[in-house]
Amino acid sequence: MANRQTAAGHAADGRYELAGDRSKRFIYKEHYDNDDVPGWCSGLSWSPVEAPTRVQIPTWALFAISIGEESVAMRRLGLFIRMSVSVMLLFALIYGVLALITTLLMGVSAVLFVVLALLAAIIVIMQFFIGPKIVEMTMRVRYVTENEYPELHFMVEDIAMKAGIPKPKVGISEIPIPNAFAFGTSKRNARVCVTRKLMQMLDRDELEGVLAHEISHIKHRDMAVITALSVIPMICYFVYIWFLWSGMLGGMGGERRENSGAVMLAVAFIAFLAYFISNLILLWVSRIREFYADAGSAEITRKPHALASALYKIIYGNAVAPSDKLKKEVGSMRAFFAADPLSAKRDLRDLRQADIDRNGRIDEYELREFAARAKISMSERIMEIFSTHPHPVSRVKRLADFA
């Protein structure tokens, strides 16, 4: 028939190739529950067969697949552009601070600025290489073998293969809250860890969504980006402290002259503003990378509702944990997690509205319904500016775009 294409079903590997489509797109049965196969796929037989069978798929369905994939690619491109703009803003800021200080002090303290910048860079480089060991000790990570957790290893290996990166090292964190995190200095020595509580709370699809989120962090190299960018606020902070004390003491050595102290206090004030702004930009980058990893998870698993459901369960598990114990366990490591545990109680109040049938999870229908009507108040948007993670409602609404 002129207006229809055919698809060959292969029971051996569980996928269905769209014959006649040169891009070799595949429909994977495991992407859909038995009762939730898209309407245009209703003609496909999902049961095993001895030999390839042929079924008809409308041309408009193939076109819909193409449009959907292009839409996902555009969203990911938008996130990448926002990340790149953030990086450029940070470097423009540090260049502006250097130029302003050089102008105010007529170049006398330019060498001092370089020394402080080198000191900050050395600290960040040490943090970059020593950081993984600190994370392992703080999060009480124990690396596990395939014999101990075969299903977990299989999922990590499968997701890493789909993401196009080497399989990361797999670990279990013994902290008593449900969460997951990834860390490492490169794709080849990256590690993915989940807490025991997380594995107890999530079903297979939800755990797969969380693992895909963390592996997307590795794929995007955003851990290294955040570490490298953190040197900029540190430089501004060092400049602020140095010139603040120098100004309060009335100047430095041979630079003592009339109004020298006032000029240095002015430099300190500018450096403090740069420190504050650069931190806000760094937090913005951190939130963008979470959106980017969510998009990566949705692209890999094709089940954005599973990640939304996992986030809901993680937030609930963190919300019911004792707050004093939670702060002691996570400390400053909360930026590593899939969801911020310290804001869990507030987040749960907002996200609970997505659980329409109150069964403790978010399905595809609930995801779409919640995304259509959910709104974030202005006060919550302001609080989000100072957070390492996006507001969970924002994350769920964006995940619905991939459904």
Which one from 206, 214, 299, 364 is the annotated catalytic residue? 214
User: Do 165 and 155 form a contact (C-beta atoms < 8 A)?
Assistant: no
Q: How far apart are CA 395 and CA 312, in angstroms?
A: 11
Strand partners, 6: 19, 56
Signed CA dihedral, 227, 232, 233, 235: sign only: positive
- Which residue in 295, 291, 338, 332 sits closest to 181, CA to CA? 338
Q: How far apart are CA 45 and CA 27, in angstroms?
A: 12
Residue 146 CA from chain centroid, whole number: 26
Beta strands, E only, 128-190: 141-143, 169-173, 180-183
Question: Where do the H-state alpha helices sit in 202-303?
Answer: 204-220, 222-229, 231-248, 260-301
User: Do 374 and 317 form a contact (C-beta atoms < 8 A)?
Assistant: no
Q: How far apart are CA 213 and CA 289, in angstroms?
A: 10
Is 214 catalytic? The answer is yes
Query: Annotated catalytic sites, by residue?
Result: 214
